[in-house]
Amino acid sequence: MKQFGIMLLAAFVLCGCNKKSGAGPVHAINWEARMASDNLAHWVQGATYLPVYSQIYQLHEGKTYDLTVTVSIRNISPKDTVFLQKADYYGTDGRLVRKYLTHAVYLKPLETAEIVIYEKDRAGGTGGNFVFDWAAKRESEAPLFEAIMISTSGQQGLSFLTRGVRIDR
């Protein structure tokens, strides 16, 4: 009986160590597969500014805390596709850090695309931002742009959200 209990305990330990999950890893967006073929000249054109923080100050201006940034690009229309024409990431000093698009891409109705900036990617600094150019069928269906910044250390965590604002170009 004692051996049976030990074997049962070993089976539980082995099964508990197997980290199978229904959710797979997060994959980067394949922007090439989303290439837009529509002529967007007749669509409503807009631009949105989104502040992001890959670092924030801690204690004083000489000490910073690194953050992971998740940029969420949401098509809020339940019926129509929207198009992104530009997704440019700028650093605190205003210089271009990275271009995410080389051509217009589409987002299906109610679809969300995400851009993740890893915690150790400090290129944007404390005042990073994105500028997005987009096209939608109607003004009221402009995409929604948000950024979630997060970091955890031990039992302590920090997170906050920013939202994009329309700008004139």
pLDDT per position as a tens digit, 123-167: 999 999 999 999 999 888 999 999 999 998 888 888 999 999 999
CA-nearest of 143, 147, 87 to 116 is: 147
Q: Is the model more confident about 113 or about 65?
A: 113
Nearest to 83 by CA among 125, 139, 21, 134: 134
Note whether residue 20 is domain-resident. no
**Number of structural domains, the chain?**
1
What CATH number has the domain bearing residue 52? Answer: 2.60.290
Cβ neighbour number for residue 126 with a 10 Å cutoff = 16
Residue-level pLDDT at 13: 42
Question: Is 34 contained in some domain?
Answer: no
More confident residue, 75 or 42: 75
Q: Look at residue 39 and tell me if it is in a domain.
A: no
Q: What is the pTM of this model?
A: 0.79
Domain of residue 127 covers 44-167
Query: Would residue 9 count as lying in a domain?
Result: no
Q: In sequence order, what are the residues at sequence separation of 6 or more whose Cβ sits closer than 8 angstroms to the Cβ of residue 81?
A: 75, 106, 107, 108, 109
**Is residue 119 domain-resident?**
yes
CA–CA distance, 132 with 143 (Å, rounded to integer): 10
In a domain, 26, yes or no: no
> What's the chain's average pLDDT?
85
pLDDT tens-digit map of 30-62 = 777 777 776 888 899 999 999 999 998 988 888
